[in-house]
Amino acid sequence: MTDLMSSDIHFVRASVLEEQRPPTRLSGPLLWMRENLFSSWLNSLLTLVFVSGVAWVLPDLIHFTLVIPVWVAGSSKDCSAELLGHPVGACWGFVNAHFGYFLYGQYPDSERWRVDIYYGLEAFGIFWILYPKAPFKGAGLAFFFLVFPIVGFTLLSGMPSIGLRTVQTHFWGGFLVTIVISTVGIVASLPIGILLALGRRSAMPIARLVSVIMIEFVRGVPLITVLFMANVMFPLFVPDGWRPDSLLRVLVGVGLFSAAYMAEAVRGGLQAIPRGQYEAAQALGLGYWQMMIKIILPQALKIVIPNIVNNFIGLFKDTTLVAIVGIFDFLRTIQASLADPNWRSSTMPLAAYIFAALVYFIFCYGMASYSLAMERRLQTGNRH
């Protein structure tokens, strides 16, 4: 019996319709390609352009970096096509030979184990707080934000009383400096940024004014200017006897700079929270900080995870700018090594910069992937 005719005026359902499976679709790689890659002439064109582009670049790149490179070299002579009599690819020997310098800068050879421990502690701490299944999260946070900074600083700068030779910060360099600056920048910028964002939306005029001035002033000038100012002006504000360390000055500059950007990212999240959430929290008698910490910020920060991580990634890459005030970060150590007379060659920079790009990419892509995974994790069971 057909159930309902369009001409029926009266209809009462007599039986319940059973749930049915959706009609099966044909599948298979060829069909998938036709539906997804060649569905229209524009799509087909895009596919062809992309495939031919990859086919044009990729073989040469693989050939140069993986098939005919020189893995071990003592000087630029070992990588010279004229001297070897055959074409050579990337001179990874250069990276190999300077790897220690890239990793530790001028940090004294005999003390580099301290940097290794520092790297280990940081990796351990990051894993502890970021890996969702790791136990004792509270202890992990305490470790990363209290124990690690003190132990890490003591390790790196030394403490003669416990047998660690003092190593002044102008010996620090390479990847160590990049990691220290970006870690301090990231760790400091989030809380400061949150405070600035709350201040900017505060009902208290002074808090609002201070926040707005801070944010707009710092955002209104390039990082390089902030770094110069931190370098030149910061000493003017501290007592005469104390000459702040040059790395410390840069850390303050980078921290404030990224905090200003963080504040605007967080403010975006705060604005997205409906007024009803504030009202419900207030009606229950929650105070301002309870409301912010328990209700508003968890929701606001979740919304702006992509922006926050975007800032982290930007900060990580911006650390290269500290070279301008004379600090040898990772990229600067690579450039310095290229000036090494033993390694003078026109092909050397290619290998060096591919290596640098790869390292930066691994870290930035790592952060991006983690944030995507985090977004997906927080999405479950938490829909509005």
Partner 1 sequence: MSSSVHALKGMKPATLTHENAIEITGMNKWYGSFHVLRDINLTVKRGERVVICGPSGSGKSTLIRCINRLEEHQKGSIIVDGTELTADVKKIDEIRRDVGMVFQHFNLFPHLTILENLTLAPIWVKKMPKKEAEEIAMHYLTRVKIPEQASKFPGQLSGGQQQRVAIARSLCMSPKIMLFDEPTSALDPEMVKEVLDTMVTLAQEGMTMICVTHEMGFARQVASRVIFMDQGQIVEVNTPDEFFKNPQHERTKLFLSQILH
Residues in contact with partner 1 by the rule CB under 8 A: 274, 276-277, 279-287, 290, 294-295, 298-299, 302, 381-384
Helices marked H in the chain = 29-36, 41-62, 81-84, 92-104, 112-130, 137-142, 148-157, 175-200, 205-219, 223-237, 246-272, 275-283, 288-290, 297-303, 305-318, 330-338, 348-379
Nearer to partner 1, 135 or 285 (CB): 285
Least distance to partner 1 from the beta carbon of 270, Å?
14
Least distance to partner 1 from the beta carbon of 283, Å?
4
Q: Distance between CA 226 and CA 247 in Å, rounded?
A: 14
Could you tell me if 97 and 73 are in contact, meaning their C-beta atoms sit under 8 angstroms apart?
Answer: yes
Nearer to partner 1, 179 or 292 (CB): 292
Could you tell me if 145 and 187 are in contact, meaning their C-beta atoms sit under 8 angstroms apart?
Answer: yes
Nearer to partner 1, 303 or 356 (CB): 303
Least distance to partner 1 from the beta carbon of 139, Å?
20
Least distance to partner 1 from the beta carbon of 303, Å?
11
Phi-psi region of 296 (alpha: psi -120 to 50; beta: other; left: phi over 0): alpha
Least distance to partner 1 from the beta carbon of 274, Å?
8
Least distance to partner 1 from the beta carbon of 269, Å?
12
Least distance to partner 1 from the beta carbon of 280, Å?
4
Could you tell me if 322 and 254 are in contact, meaning their C-beta atoms sit under 8 angstroms apart?
Answer: yes
Nearer to partner 1, 243 or 294 (CB): 294
Least distance to partner 1 from the beta carbon of 300, Å?
10
Least distance to partner 1 from the beta carbon of 253, Å?
35
Could you tell me if 359 and 262 are in contact, meaning their C-beta atoms sit under 8 angstroms apart?
Answer: no
Least distance to partner 1 from the beta carbon of 286, Å?
6
Nearer to partner 1, 112 or 302 (CB): 302
> If you ran DSSP here, which 8-state letter would residue 304 be given?
T
Nearer to partner 1, 229 or 378 (CB): 378
Nearer to partner 1, 273 or 324 (CB): 273
Q: Distance between CA 253 and CA 250 in Å, rounded?
A: 5
Nearer to partner 1, 284 or 372 (CB): 284
| N-to-C CA span, the chain | 43
Nearer to partner 1, 48 or 280 (CB): 280
Which distant-in-sequence residues (6+ apart) come within 8 Å of 345 by Cβ?
76, 79, 80, 91
Residue type, 209: L
Angstrom distances, CA of residue 356 to CA of 61, 95, 126, 175, 361: 16, 10, 23, 10, 8
β-bridge mates for residue 164, sequence order: 159
Exposure string of 311-332, with b = 16+ CB inside 10 Å and e = fewer, is: bbbebbebbbbbbebebbbbbb
Backbone angles phi, psi at 341, to 5 degrees: -55, -30
Nearer to partner 1, 286 or 338 (CB): 286
